[in-house]
Amino acid sequence: MTYDAIVENGLWFDGTGARPEVRNLGIRGGRVVSVSAAPLDATDCPRVVDAAGKWVMPGFLDIHTHYDVEVLLRPELTESVRHGVTTVFVGSCSLSTVHVGPSDAGDLFGRVEAIPRRHVVDALESAKTWTSAREYVTALEDRPLGPNVAAFIGHSDIRSALMGLDRATRKEVRPTESELATMEAQLTEALDAGFVGMSSQQLLFDKLDGEVCRSRTLPSTYAGRKERRRLNAILRRRGRALQGGPDVARPQSMFSMALSSLGIGRPRLKVSLLSAADVKAIPAVVHIFPVMAKVINRLGGDFRWQHLPVPFEVYSDGIDLPVFEEFGSGAAALHLSNQIDEQRALLADEGYRRRFRKDYDKKYGPRVWHRDFFDAEIVECPDESVIGKTFGQVGVDRGGVHPVDAFLDLVVEYGSKVRWRTTISNHRPEVLNTLAADPGVQLGFSDAGAHLRNMAFYNYGLRFLRRVRDAQRAGQPFVTVEHAVHRLTGELADWYGLDAGHLREGDRADLVVIDPDRLDESLETYSENPIAEFDNLSRMVNRNDATVTAVFVGGEYVFGDGEAAPVLGRRRTGEFLRSSTT
């Protein structure tokens, strides 16, 4: 037998949770054709990877990205591939580019996902050739995809393209019977094309960009029960998933979306909600997530929380951070983010500052941001005397100035040149460990491709494996390494019905080789890398290239040791993965 590639002598994890063994893997025709304890014949094999002392496992599945725009421009998606991600999901949070036109796509993605609107519009104007889900799949497969791509169809995408963005974002407007029937047909067509399900949204601090409907919430948030029920019925019949974002200010939306998973005389609905997090602002809420999942699933549901298994550290240039959308004065400032002079005038106004201070001092109630400027460190500023300090400390140094005024004073003076950071959730390792081991939680939620200046979680899988490995070394394991690999790979692929996530004979040869000795502190840092297509906007990324020594997609070597293979971005290695659930 001859092979296209051999990965030899590595500690092999098959993605099922089985105990790892040292094995040799033979790859041919994009599949694993041999898993052997004995050496394989390398005669005429063009690539042999020595994985001695390393871990060999299925490539990770990133189940929550916003690569919908970037995959059209840079389909190699190198920032994820270099960290061992071999399958990405697009179409999250009710947003996709299947039906909506370029201008409306800019309004949907620009502010919510912090992808500059003009680049969204330009990308769709230059790339969009499709008018249906099937044509969208064909267009993706015509591109030199690096990783595999799976997709949700976005509810806001369908709704705004059909009703028009203005009608789709008015409380008093409901779709006509004809429009509802068309929505059902478009969802059905997407599922027929292999989409894993539909994403929807009820979160009210995600706001539209642009001029026509600026600062309205996403179209999906305006849908009534009848509309949601009819679309969910299609997902139920087909065994596909509903990804949803409940409104943190209305806990009833979280419970209603979760309870929709129950069958009770009808097929149960796969529901994956955003998100299980140890939120600093309301630490007790973390105990609700596992209990909800356990109760609903025992009653016959099929419910999961999405969870980022690392600290949720965010950065901001001035006031450009989505968490400010959750209260009135913050949303007012972001409403003017495309009018810098007007925004600075607002931030300097004393009446506005009184409203901001009132919002800031309100410490109770559902929210995401902890609203503590003593927990917000300045990392860059033209005034070097404040670097390394919190805004709260700057206020103290300036004679007891309120933390809000200390923050606004610096933003008014220096604008986006004031860069700062804080951690809003997932700050307690012991709580993270509990969530990561819970069967009602899915590991993902990287938001890759979005919030380009705010965060970088492209390597969350590696960071999670490091924590698992370190806990074992400390004699305090919370999951085994093989179970952790399963949670990042096969468990997700099986739930969504995808041909991915496993590394046995006959499986797709999507795999990553990891040096466990380099699961180290390099994983915690971030770097910056300009995106040429976005006017060289400097994007936050991760760089820990010594950790990942080889990545294969579809049997092709695509990345390793910090270098992309020549094939990446030139020829398609990934595929559009179609859900097999019926």
Please tell me the distance from the alpha carbon of residue 101 to that of residue 124, in angstroms, as a whole number.
Answer: 7
Residue 353 exposure: Cα atoms within 13 Å on the Cβ side: 17
CA-nearest of 564, 483, 458 to 57 is 483
Asked, as a colleague might, if the bond just before 96 is cis with ω within 30 of 0, I would say no
What residues contact 398, with CB distance under 8 A and at least 6 apart? 406
Residue 10 phi, psi (nearest 5): -90, 160
Show the CA angle centred on residue 512, arms to residues 510 and 513, nearest 5°: 145
Show the low-confidence residues of the chain (pLDDT under 70).
none
Please tell me the distance from the alpha carbon of residue 395 to that of residue 369, in angstroms, as a whole number.
Answer: 20
Amino acid at 227: E
Instruction: Kindly state the greatest CA–CA separation across the chain.
Output: 78
pLDDT in tens, 356-412: 999 999 978 778 999 999 999 999 999 999 999 999 999 999 999 999 999 999 999
Buried b (16+ CB within 10 A) or exposed e, 251-285: eebbeebbbbbbeeeeebbbbbbbbbbbbbbbeeb
Total length of the chain = 582
Structure tokens at 81: 């591939």
CA-nearest of 305, 301, 302 to 274 is 305
| Strand pairing category for 270-274 and 241-245 | parallel
- 38, burial (CB in 10 Å: exposed 0-12, middle 13-18, buried 19+): exposed
Amino acid at 399: G
CB 251 within 8 A of CB 281: no
Q: What dihedral angle (degrees, nearest 10) is formed by the CA atoms of 35, 479, 476, 56?
A: 30
- 444, burial (CB in 10 Å: exposed 0-12, middle 13-18, buried 19+): buried
Amino acid at 497: G
CA-nearest of 269, 133, 166, 250 to 201 is 250
Amino acid at 356: F
Quick one: pLDDT at residue 260?
95
Please tell me the distance from the alpha carbon of residue 198 to that of residue 245, in angstroms, as a whole number.
Answer: 12
Quick one: pLDDT at residue 520?
97
Quick one: pLDDT at residue 195?
98
Give the number of other Cβ atoms within 10 Å of residue 381's Cβ: 19
Give the number of other Cβ atoms within 10 Å of residue 566's Cβ: 10
| Domains, the chain, with CATH or none | 60-311+426-500+527-545 (3.20.20.140), 320-421 (no CATH)
Quick one: pLDDT at residue 205?
87
User: Where in 13-53 does DSSP place strands (E)?
Assistant: 21-28, 31-36, 48-50
CA-nearest of 368, 369, 330, 317 to 539 is 317
Buried b (16+ CB within 10 A) or exposed e, 96-105: bbbbbebbbb
Quick one: pLDDT at residue 122?
97
Please tell me the distance from the alpha carbon of residue 6 to that of residue 19, in angstroms, as a whole number.
Answer: 21
